[in-house]
């Protein structure tokens, strides 16, 4: 994507290296593109992240103090950043202007559940001697088009499905579904499931009933209980998929050792749809979209997972492990047979809503995220993407204060909850740097306040107060802006 030269005839390893060289030369001559993919599970703040990123980049020419830790800004090399005209290539345009105008009225943008993109042209003075020379010869600054794609993290949770057959997936899903909180949420689905067997005759009507109840369980698990390891991800975030009949499947109770079903049975009917889902939805996303991305940020609401209690926290760990599969490129992995050529080479995992945690505990939030998933195991393989972890707030909507609680003076944040006329203080408790021990969990705290955004100028002049947005961009794009 980043090159006009066709390297497709070369073996993958050479093609990848050649594309990188080509991208570098393209940047020097002006006109290169880098694809930055933004994802995160529902309510992790993707839309606000992209809106703040664009607004702050556009504002840097007027107010460089907003993003001092982004090298191209801190070194005063940024000439200008502008929104590229909408492209007619099929993906919906990210609604930056609508979002910033809404935030200027002290409200947050609406949730989205599909994929969108937007291009930002960044013109800058190169930092290296060669870049400076080319810039002087051509008489123009270097240009990098930053193409930002925003898609639901739920879609990445589907990657492990490609390594499973329908029977395996059904057994694994139902094992999880019959435990703890999930068993309670899924009781209507489980009651219906008890009335059906894989050996019974295939029926479109039964498949649809099971699918509807299963979807209702997924929605309630996500929206009322904050669970995130929910498959299939497209049942929750469809994008432009609509509701085709091949989606109408659900797990069935299947005995160990049974992997194939007699023709004409409900089991065979469901298994066929599961395979179509994998082929038409999961694989297609990776082949049509994901393979183009070179940089990725994954937003994770670590705070909500921690405060939601042990089950929600453990569930988020499962979701993170599933998401990490999308950045393992080593030989033998699912991705190695799906994607050839260049791949994502830098991934940043960001614990969002860092403004809900007092300054003194923010590093804990990042450390906790690092210790939640198998990041260290991924980092040792050079074939995988380079990973980093940070805490981040795309918009700071709180101020710091202290408060006496039960005789102890503690740090709190204060903000005005959306829809309220009065400010509230929020005491987050102790944010540990490692997952709490089993006996250290208290009762869930599900009412994490949603504070209204601060006063925001919709014109790209002042920018938006943030935490670590510039550091995040420096990790993701700093090398491409040199």
Partner 1 sequence: MSDQPERGVAPAARVIEMDAADDAAPLRLLRPQIIPTERTEAVTPSEPALPALAPAS
List the one residue out of 389, 390, 316, 400 whose CA is nearest residue 356: 400
Shortest distance (Å) from residue 397 CB to partner 1: 7
Look at the alpha carbons of 376, 157, 368, 478 in this order and tell me if their dihedral is positive or negative. positive
100 vs 215, beta carbon nearer partner 1: 100
The distance from CA 84 to its chain's CA centroid, rounded to whole angstroms, is 23
Contacts to partner 1 by CB under 8 A: 64-65, 68-69, 73-74, 76, 106, 307, 355, 359, 396-400, 402-406, 408-410, 412, 414-416, 421-430, 442, 445, 447, 449, 451-452, 454-455, 465, 467
6 vs 447, beta carbon nearer partner 1: 447
Question: Facing residues of 39 across strands?
Answer: 298
Question: Facing residues of 391 across strands?
Answer: 351
Shortest distance (Å) from residue 131 CB to partner 1: 20
Whole-number Å distance between alpha carbons of 132 and 178: 63
Q: Which helix (H) or strand (E) holds 144?
A: strand 142-150
158 vs 355, beta carbon nearer partner 1: 355
Cα angle 309-315-316, degrees, rounded to a multiple of 5 = 90
Shortest distance (Å) from residue 56 CB to partner 1: 13
Shortest distance (Å) from residue 463 CB to partner 1: 11
Query: Is residue 29 within 8 Å of residue 90, measured between CB atoms?
Result: no
322 vs 473, beta carbon nearer partner 1: 473
Shortest distance (Å) from residue 316 CB to partner 1: 17
265 vs 424, beta carbon nearer partner 1: 424
Residue indicated by tokens 């937003």: 299
What's the DSSP call for residue 247? G
**Gyration radius from the chain CA atoms:** 24
403 vs 459, beta carbon nearer partner 1: 403
Shortest distance (Å) from residue 110 CB to partner 1: 22
Query: Is residue 42 within 8 Å of residue 228, measured between CB atoms?
Result: yes
């Amino acid at each position: 994507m980043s090159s006009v030269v066709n390297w497709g005839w070369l073996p993958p390893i050479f093609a990848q290296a050649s594309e990188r060289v080509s991208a570098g030369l393209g940047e020097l001559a002006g006109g290169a593109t880098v694809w930055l993919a933004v994802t995160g599970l529902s309510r992790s703040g993707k839309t606000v992240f992209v809106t703040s990123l664009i607004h702050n980049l556009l504002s840097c020419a007027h107010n460089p103090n907003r993003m001092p830790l982004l090298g191209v800004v801190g070194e005063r090399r940024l000439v200008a950043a502008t929104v590229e005209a909408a492209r007619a290539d099929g993906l919906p345009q990210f609604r930056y202007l609508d979002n910033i105008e809404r935030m200027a009225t002290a409200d947050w943008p609406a949730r989205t559940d599909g994929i969108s993109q937007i291009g930002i042209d960044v013109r800058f003075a190169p930092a290296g001697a060669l870049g400076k020379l080319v810039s002087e010869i051509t008489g123009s600054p270097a240009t990098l088009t930053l193409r930002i794609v925003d898609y639901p993290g739920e879609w990445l949770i589907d990657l492990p499905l490609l390594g499973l057959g329908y029977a395996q997936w059904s057994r694994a899903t139902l094992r999880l579904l019959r435990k703890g909180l999930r068993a309670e949420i899924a009781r209507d689905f489980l009651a219906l499931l008890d009335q059906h067997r894989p050996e019974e005759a295939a029926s479109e009507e039964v498949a649809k009933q099971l699918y509807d109840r299963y979807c209702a369980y997924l929605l309630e698990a996500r929206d009322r209980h904050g669970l995130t390891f929910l498959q299939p991800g497209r049942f929750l975030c469809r994008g432009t998929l609509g509701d085709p009949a091949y989606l109408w499947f659900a797990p069935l109770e299947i005995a160990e050792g049974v992997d194939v079903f007699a023709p004409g049975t409900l089991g065979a009917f469901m298994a066929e749809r599961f395979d179509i889902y994998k082929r038409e939805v999961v694989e297609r996303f990776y082949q049509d979209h994901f393979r183009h991305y070179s940089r990725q940020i994954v937003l994770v609401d670590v705070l909500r997972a921690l405060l939601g209690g042990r089950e929600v926290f453990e569930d988020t760990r499962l979701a993170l492990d599933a998401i990490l599969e999308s950045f393992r490129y080593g030989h033998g992995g699912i991705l190695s047979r799906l994607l050839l050529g260049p791949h994502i080479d830098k991934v940043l995992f960001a614990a969002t809503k860092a403004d809900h945690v007092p300054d003194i505990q923010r590093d804990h939030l990042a450390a906790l995220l690092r210790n939640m998933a198998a990041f260290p195991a991924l980092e040792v393989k050079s074939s995988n993407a380079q990973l980093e972890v940070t805490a981040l707030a795309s918009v700071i909507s709180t101020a710091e204060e202290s408060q006496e609680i039960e005789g102890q003076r503690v740090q709190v944040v204060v903000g005005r909850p959306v829809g309220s006329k009065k400010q509230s203080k929020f005491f987050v408790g102790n944010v540990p740097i490692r997952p709490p021990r089993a006996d250290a969990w208290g009762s869930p705290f599900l009412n994490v306040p949603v504070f209204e955004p601060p006063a925001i100028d919709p014109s790209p002049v002042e920018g938006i107060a943030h935490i670590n947005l510039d550091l995040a961009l420096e990790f993701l794009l700093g090398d491409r802006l040199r």
